[in-house]
Amino acid sequence: MIKGLTTVARVASDEAWGQLGELFSALGFENGKGWSDDKGKGAAYLAPLGNLELVTGQMPSVPELLVEVTQLDTVHDAVAAWVRKYPANNLGDVVATHWNSRLFTLSIEGGLVLGFWESENPLHGKPVAIEGDLSAKGKKFAIVVARWNAVITDRLLQGSLDALYRSGCAKDDVAIVRVPGAWEIPSAARTLAESKKYAGIITLGVLLRGETAHYEAIYNEVSRGIGQSQQETGVPHAFGVLTCETLEQALDRAGLKAGNKGFEAAIAAIEMASIQEKLAGTE
């Protein structure tokens, strides 16, 4: 039945009240419903999350009004620009706390003190979820790579091997299977998956619209075959088959300008293999 929390803080003057409103709007607070009468006026600023924290014993040495943020350094820069405009206020430096976070304070003319903080824990505030680890140590992976357009697929293969080795996979735990072209990838991937020897299958190839009149028909069958193999065998398949208009686009996606799709596919396979392992352990 609890709907929300409201903290009410007194500001020393109308001038300071207006200045704070300017700051909070710049920081991205959502404006709530304000009020005004012959005794004063108020402005509400809404945040996505509210907390009521009760303390016994010694109070922590932090302001009573704390604002949790992301990108604390960027927020500090924004507040610093505001303080330069209104120098009667005092901005503190960003400091580390004993509760695994960083914080800075803003002292407003008249005695009000605000604290802005950001947790150093990357999982802070995130929902609990099963997520894969990017460790390939002790796992076996298979790579199915097409020979057609080898100038592209060899680059994709090197990207995949780089990702696997960097993630702890032993060279002897990587099987490389070369097939004539993209059309043959699903068949080899299915055979490897059914062997149950591998934690993940990485499929690499390239289809260029300009070189193949039946480009779309081949792509649809290749993608369908790889997806069906993954679903029916339960072994993760990473899709690293490029579909590009030109050779130049394919080269860009194979490591020249737009990352290496082979590397990305291998990372996806590693993560999915880890997720599969964790899901099996929850049964």
Residues identified as active-site: 214
Burial 187-222 (b: 16+ CB within 10 A, else e): ebbbebbeeeebbbbbbbbbbbeeeeeeeeebbeeb
Strand partners of residue 42? 35
Q: Are the CB atoms for 201 and 192 separated by under 8 Å?
A: yes
- Residue recorded with tokens 């960027």: 74
Per-residue buried b or exposed e for 45-60, using 16+ beta carbons within 10 Å of the residue's own CB: beeeeeeeeeeeeeee
CA dihedral angle for residue 7, residue 99, residue 72, residue 23, rounded to 10 degrees:
20
Q: Give bridge partners of residue 176 from the DSSP assignment.
A: 143
Half-sphere exposure of 175 (CA within 13 A, CB side): 17
Q: How far is CA 44 from CA 25, 32, 88, in A?
A: 11, 5, 23
Are the C-beta atoms of residues 43 and 17 closer than 8 Å to each other? yes
Write the single-letter amino acid at 243.
Answer: T
Structure tokens at 5: 């929390």
Indicate the residue type of 222. Answer: V
